[in-house]
Every structure is written in structure tokens, then in C-alpha cells.
């Protein structure tokens, strides 16, 4: 589990494609502290297992499933990647609960600079827009953010200067794709409501009428 607070931007040194997926070697420094073979690292929002490391890099192995679901398929050597180590239970969770299981990718449509913060507008696949709510939590390339607006399948997030400096969203150009993880609670609620064993009076329409979705 992760919090969506990026600890470091690493640089993708090398991509090695295999029949089982791909291996990514990433230059980094801060996240090497306490990292060992088998450690979980969130890479652009996707939970990856460290298969080897040295004094200035880690190598993770992404399965074909991960490659198909994430923006890993578009990565090129030299790009910046958001990195976060797994959370520990003796720290405050300042972001939100992020599993590192990417649901889909979204495309950057536009940006808007208001002189202080900067808004980023993304387009989701239609089937995922129902999980995104105004002021709800969402992970974009592994970054814990608050939904600033949502209309149909287009949502925006607003980044303050500190966040812009610390994460790779600021490197995006129109048309680029990001990894999206929706709030895990939304998926559990949908599963419960659609279950045959759901005998409560709570329905999707009830939640919508009361501002929960």
C-alpha cells in the first residue's frame, strides 16, 4: 500500500522487453534507503517488485498485464518516473490509500495556469467516469490528488507549485497518457451494490441523490 506522496523522481535508464512483459531499470537515490530484493515500489502509480538493485538504481519487472493496462507501453528511456516506497504503519497518511493497482490510463487534453496553481484536464475511458466525483481522491501517475472538476468523462486536478516541482505531471504535454487509480472505496461500494446478497435499501440512485456519487 502507498499514500500517493511521491518521494522521488527517478530516471528511466533502460527498458528491456521480454515475452513476459518488460524490465525497467530506474536511476534513483532516496528510495534505495531500506529497499531490498522483493521490495514493493510504486512506479508512476503501478506497484512493482524490485528484482535487483545497486548503489544508484533499481530494476523492476512488469508483467504483460501491467504493460497493457498502464502507460508503461509508451515509456521511453530518459523519462522521469514518480517513485514511492510502500507505506509504514508508524507514519501519518497525508495522501490517501493507494494500492498501486492501476485501473486505466487517461489522456491529457489541456492545461490552465492561473498564476499560482495549474490545472490539468484529463479524459478517462467512459466506463471509469462513474467512479470519479468532485472533491474525491484520485491517483494520477501515483500522485494523490483531489478532483477539481468532473464533467462526463473529463476531470481536472489542480497542482500547487510544490507539487509541480516534485512530480512528473509537470513534464506532460497534450496527448500524453497517465496512469489512473480511482478511489478504492468506489470499487467496493459498486461490488456490494451489485451483489446478489445485498439486501439493504441502499442503491446507486440513493447514493447519487445524497451526493455520495
Write out pLDDT tens, residues 92-136.
778 888 999 999 999 999 999 988 999 999 999 999 999 999 999
Neighbours of 204 (CB within 10 A): 14
The candidate with the shortest Cα–Cα distance to 111, out of 53, 70, 59, 171, is 171
Mean pLDDT of the region 37-66: 96
The candidate with the shortest Cα–Cα distance to 185, out of 96, 90, 94, is 96
- Tell whether the model's pLDDT for residue 213 goes beyond 90: no
**pLDDT at res. 212:** 62
Cα dihedral across residues 182, 186, 191, 194: positive or negative? negative
Mean pLDDT of the region 202-209: 66
Is the separation of the CB atoms in 94 and 5 below 8 Å? yes
Q: Which regions of the chain carry the CATH code 2.40.30.20?
A: 8-85, 104-191
Q: pTM value?
A: 0.87
- Tell whether the model's pLDDT for residue 67 goes beyond 80: yes
Topology of the domain comprising 8-85? Elongation Factor Tu (Ef-tu); domain 3 (2.40.30)
3-state SS class at 137: strand
- Phi/psi of residue 199, nearest 5 degrees: -110, 10
β partners of residue 112: 119
pLDDT bin (cut points 50, 70, 90) of residue 54 is very high
Mean pLDDT of the region 76-81: 97
**pLDDT at res. 198:** 60
Neighbours of 23 (CB within 10 A): 16
Mean pLDDT of the region 55-59: 97
Just give the CATH number of 104-191: 2.40.30.20
Amino acid at each position: 500500500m502507498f499514500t500517493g506522496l511521491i518521494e522521488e523522481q527517478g530516471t528511466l535508464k533502460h527498458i528491456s522487453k521480454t515475452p513476459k512483459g518488460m524490465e525497467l531499470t530506474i536511476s534513483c537515490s532516496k528510495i534505495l534507503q531500506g529497499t531490498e530484493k522483493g521490495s514493493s515500489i510504486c512506479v508512476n502509480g503501478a506497484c512493482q517488485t524490485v528484482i535487483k538493485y545497486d548503489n544508484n538504481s533499481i530494476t523492476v519487472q512488469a508483467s504483460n498485464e501491467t504493460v497493457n493496462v498502464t502507460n508503461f507501453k509508451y515509456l521511453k528511456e530518459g523519462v522521469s518516473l514518480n517513485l514511492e516506497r510502500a507505506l509504514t504503519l508508524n507514519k501519518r497518511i497525508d495522501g490517501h490509500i493507494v494500492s498501486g493497482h492501476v485501473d486505466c490510463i487517461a489522456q491529457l487534453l489541456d492545461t490552465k495556469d492561473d498564476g499560482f496553481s495549474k490545472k490539468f484536464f484529463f479524459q478517462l475511458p467512459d466506463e471509469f467516469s462513474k467512479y470519479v466525483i468532485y472533491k474525491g481522491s484520485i491517483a494520477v501517475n501515483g500522485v494523490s490528488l483531489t478532483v477539481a472538476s468532473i464533467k462526463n468523462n473529463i476531470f481536472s486536478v489542480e497542482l500547487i507549485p510544490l507539487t509541480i516541482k516534485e512530480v512528473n505531471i509537470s513534464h506532460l504535454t497534450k496527448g500524453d497518457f497517465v496512469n489512473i487509480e480511482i478511489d478504492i472505496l468506489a470499487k467496493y461500494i459498486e461490488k456490494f451494490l451489485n451483489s446478489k446478497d445485498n439486501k439493504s435499501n441502499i442503491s446507486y440512485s440513493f447514493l447519487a441523490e445524497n451526493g455520495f456519487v
